[in-house]
Amino acid sequence: MKVIRIFGAPYSSTTVLGFIINTAPGFLFGSEIYRLLPAYTKRLNKPAICHFCGNMCNVWSPQLIKEIVSQNIKYVDETYAIFGKHNEQVQCLVDSSKAIDRYSGEAGNYIDLVASKHPIRLLSSHFYHRRKDFFGAEDAIDFEVFRKKLDECSDLVAKVANTVSREQYLRYEAIFTKLQSFTLLKNDNLHQANFARLRELEVFLGVKSESFDPINFSKYEAHTIGGNRMPSNQRSKYIGAKNQIHNPRIQYYETAESLGDFKIDDKYRIIFSPKTLSIVQKSTWYRRLCEQLSYNPWPN
């Protein structure tokens, strides 16, 4: 079994990339597999479970999960052999555990992808995630209300922009330094030229042309174990009534401009006023992050 490891910053669309690769025959996207590690499940006090099948999953079976939990596994790459033993039908497992320090550093049969997104997009998600810093509460807040609040907090915006950009810069630096070779994917450009970059990825991975189906990825069978949002149509099936919880981020993605299931993330245009945007763009670490990932600090 081969393994694709997806590295990158939080909110760099590693989940979408995983779901797209999941559409090719023989590929299985497991999402953030580090969430299976005993250290993580102990901290959360709940075992990992398939988002789609719950305990009834044939891929992430209770036996497989029990085997991983019962062993003293510290690093995510140490779970792959156990997974392969239980899932001989899977030719390539896709893991989006993202951070390099979740891996042992041992050599293995890996294809490494690094996902990025324009730092302004990373920051708009991070700002919203850290809304407690601005509002003192973690409750869901409508993007328009959040925009007004950020507009009133210039000093805090400058501070958070610098801190978050620095965190992400250091994360990418560790990834770039430690990986022997990797393919960099700018996920916010993936849809351009009729998904040309994905077609290149197919050639690179040795799969048949147009195996990936970015327009309909949520219609394929999926078994993800942790961390992220599943495609919204699957989510409402799985969560049912609980999906009614007010969440502006989910609402945004349901209405965002899209090519089928591939959503264009432009929520920074809603969250950041021109004033906030200019404060972010003056941040030293934001500019360094843009340079590191080869993005123009002034997005189009």
Q: Where are the alpha helices (DSSP H) in the chain?
A: 14-21, 38-44, 62-70, 80-86, 119-129, 131-135, 143-152, 154-178, 192-205, 232-239, 248-255, 268-271, 274-282, 284-292
**Smallest distance, Zn ion to C-beta of residue 53, A:** 3
Judged by phi (left if over 0) then psi (alpha if -120 to 50, else beta), residue 22 lies in alpha
52, 127, 217, 285: residue in contact with Zn ion (rule CB under 5 A):
52
Report the 10 Å Cβ neighbour count for 295: 19
Could you say which residues in the range 221-240 bind Zn ion, by CB under 5 A?
Answer: 223
Query: If binding is defined by CB under 5 A, does position 57 make contact with Zn ion?
Result: yes
Beta carbons within 8 Å of 21's beta carbon, 6+ residues apart = 4, 27, 29, 94, 212
- Number of residues near Zn ion (by CB under 5 A): 5
Which amino acid is present at 105? G
Report the b/e string of 136-158 with b at 16+ CB within 10 A. Answer: eeeeebebeebbebbeebeeebb
Nearer to Zn ion, 98 or 223 (CB): 223
Scanning 204-212, 215-223, 228-236, 262-270 for contacts with Zn ion by CB under 5 A, the matching segment is 215-223
Q: Could you give the string, one character per residue 68-107, with x where binding to Zn ion holds by CB under 5 A and - elsewhere? A: ----------------------------------------
Q: Which residue has the tokens 């779970």?
A: 79
- The 3-state DSSP class for residue 103 equals coil
Nearer to Zn ion, 186 or 223 (CB): 223
Q: Could you give the string, one character per residue 104-143, with x where binding to Zn ion holds by CB under 5 A and - elsewhere? A: ----------------------------------------
**Smallest distance, Zn ion to C-beta of residue 122, A:** 29
Nearer to Zn ion, 57 or 158 (CB): 57
**Smallest distance, Zn ion to C-beta of residue 57, A:** 3
Nearer to Zn ion, 7 or 52 (CB): 52
Q: Which residue has the tokens 């599943």?
A: 230
Scanning 167-175, 220-228, 250-258, 277-285 for contacts with Zn ion by CB under 5 A, the matching segment is 220-228
* Partners of 13 in beta bridges: none
Distance CA 189, CA 263 (A): 11
Could you say which residues in the range 139-168 bind Zn ion, by CB under 5 A?
Answer: none
Which residues make up the interface to Zn ion (CB under 5 A)? 50, 52-53, 57, 223
